[in-house]
Amino acid sequence: MMAYLNLLRKGACLCAALLVLSWNANSSSVYAEAPQMKLSSDLQVETTFNGKTVKLDVAPPVWKIVVDEKYEALPVYNPNASAWGRGRVLRAVNACECAMFGALDPESVVVKLESTGETLQRGKDYEFEDSSGALGRLEGGNIPTDGVVLASYRCIESRIDSIVADPQGDVFLVSGESVVLSPEPPVLKEGQKRLGNVYLTGRTEKLSETSLFPVDEVFADELNSLDAKAFVENVDRYYDQNGGLEPASVSTVGAAKKYLPKTWAKLTSGEEIRILAWGDSVTACGFLPDNQRWQVKFVERLQSMFPNAKITLLTEAWGGRSSDSYRNEPSGSPKNYKEKVLDLKPDLIVSEFVNDAYMNEETVAKRYGEMKADFEANGMEWIILGPHYVRPDWMGLNSERDVDEDPRPLVKGLREFTSANNVPFADTPNLYGKLWRSGIPYNTLMTNNINHPNAFGMDLFAAALARLFEE
């Protein structure tokens, strides 16, 4: 991979031309200009490519109909809990540990007792939260504690369609699969080129500019947008072709060899090395199989890069908590910082705390500076794994387009801190910020519709870490 990237860096413009010519080797047309996408009506996209303009009709989202879905022993509805925690989330709108907000049509909900077929009354027998679909029984109503109810309802599905060109220059629409949560772009056929994606989410009665995701040329030839290895290589190619925007030196290729000498020596000598993954729920990762966690994927990559290395992976994580949470726990606590992190004496700590997002640059400098001193006093080296993007409104974003730059003070603070203190920084936010350029709305990677990445999202963490160890 690095030989390939180095070649690109020496001749980015030449390589860009060769890539275009390579695609057109089997084409009757010449790639003359970037494709243009604009709305021509509520559910129609006008696309211009190689001098040809077509208007493509986009089918509206479809409703999923659920009939007599069985629920046993409903909890009592709790109006004071979080929107998704007030009861049991209806299965079709369930996101891992959360809900697909707004997907449920609340007017469609009908709840019956299984034993008698009696139609129950909302507000008397049961209640649910309109946006999340969290359903619970009401005390004094007709649902027994151990009663079984049948719920019928409908919910809207999401979809990502791709605007595609074939080698003959014909432009058409390829529909993605309709799902309630985490739609994926369709996988294309050999010879097809993805010009852009159309994202239909929730009750999309008409498209908007934020529904359109033109695909940057460097990402356009990937048949499967969710190929992490190809995506990361394309991000590097994007920077090569566009110049500037170089990440801090401690997040570039080869940073580990320079800034983690003890770790590097153990990896290359075959001496046992202990790596601690320390973080929050993203590191605990109870929402995915163990082999899809970022730390497991990272160690797999590291092992392939250093075949003789003897790597022991440790994990210490606390869902819903921050690095401060650990540091504030008293002695004897199951999550005490000294006993559960420092006393493990790993050779290398990789920390991931998206829940540190409340920190600004000054707080990062102080708190992370204190942790750096602790790690150095214990002979441990450190990589900071940058946080992924989370639900747009939590980041102050109005769209999942045009999001190259992470707006969070935490990320700015981490980049400043790592540059000033020679701590390697795995720049995950840089990768997430480029997803839109490959046509991917980044929040579609979240298994809980908020902040828990799927397997592809975890691959991006591992890729950001692995590039630090490439020579």
List, for residues 362-381, the tens digit of each pLDDT value. Answer: 999 999 999 999 999 999 99
Average pLDDT of 46-51? 92
Q: What does DSSP say about strands 381-385 and 348-352: parallel, antiparallel, or unpaired?
A: parallel
> Over 60: is that where the pLDDT of 16 sits?
no
Q: How far apart are CA 334 and CA 388, in angstroms?
A: 27
Is there a contact between 468 and 253 (Cβ–Cβ < 8 Å)? yes
Q: What is the pLDDT of residue 239?
A: 86
> Over 60: is that where the pLDDT of 24 sits?
no
> Over 50: is that where the pLDDT of 154 sits?
yes
Average pLDDT of 158-183? 95
> Over 80: is that where the pLDDT of 85 sits?
yes
Is there a contact between 195 and 47 (Cβ–Cβ < 8 Å)? yes
**Residue 453, helix vs strand vs coil:** strand
Mean pLDDT of all residues belonging to the chain? 90
Average pLDDT of 321-349? 97
Q: What is the pLDDT of residue 249?
A: 62
Is there a contact between 135 and 74 (Cβ–Cβ < 8 Å)? yes
Which residues pair with residue 135 across a beta bridge?
88, 128
pLDDT one-digit tens code per residue, 219-229: 999 999 999 99
Which residues pair with residue 317 across a beta bridge?
279
pLDDT one-digit tens code per residue, 171-199: 999 999 999 999 999 999 999 999 999 99
Average pLDDT of 394-422? 95
Q: What is the pLDDT of residue 27?
A: 37
**Residue 349, helix vs strand vs coil:** strand
Q: What is the pLDDT of residue 394?
A: 95
| Domains observed in the chain | 2-60+158-242 (no CATH), 63-156 (no CATH), 249-469 (3.40.50.1110)
Q: What is the pLDDT of residue 4?
A: 33
User: Phi and psi dihedrals of 88, rounded to 5?
Assistant: -100, 120
Q: Which residues contact 427 (CB under 8 A, 6 or more apart)?
A: 247, 248, 251, 386, 415, 464
Q: Which residues contact 328 (CB under 8 A, 6 or more apart)?
A: none
Tokens of 428: 């995950």
> Over 90: is that where the pLDDT of 9 sits?
no
> Over 50: is that where the pLDDT of 23 sits?
no
Q: How far apart are CA 51 and CA 32, in angstroms?
A: 8
C-alpha 180: how far from its chain's center?
17
pLDDT one-digit tens code per residue, 98-120: 899 999 999 999 999 999 999 99
Q: How confident is the model at residue 2 (pLDDT cuts 50, 70, 90)?
A: very low
pLDDT one-digit tens code per residue, 287-296: 999 999 999 9
Q: How confident is the model at residue 253 (pLDDT cuts 50, 70, 90)?
A: confident
Tokens of 141: 């109503």
132 vs 27, which has greater pLDDT? Answer: 132
Task: For residue 421, give the nearest of 358, 373, 386 by alpha carbon.
Answer: 373
pLDDT one-digit tens code per residue, 254-294: 899 999 999 999 999 999 999 999 999 999 999 999 999 99
Q: What is the pLDDT of residue 97?
A: 80
Q: How far apart are CA 268 and CA 256, in angstroms?
A: 12
Q: For the chain, what percent of residues have pLDDT higher than 90?
A: 84
What number of other Cβ atoms are within 10 A of residue 317's Cβ? 21
- Dihedral over Cα of 326, 331, 332, 337: its sign: positive
Q: How confident is the model at residue 242 (pLDDT cuts 50, 70, 90)?
A: confident
Average pLDDT of 415-438? 95
Q: What is the pLDDT of residue 244?
A: 56
pTM (2 d.p.): 0.88
Q: Give alpha helix (H) positions in 87-245.
A: 228-242
> Over 80: is that where the pLDDT of 251 sits?
no
Query: Quick one: which H or E segment has residue 310?
Result: strand 310-317
Tokens of 331: 């002695």
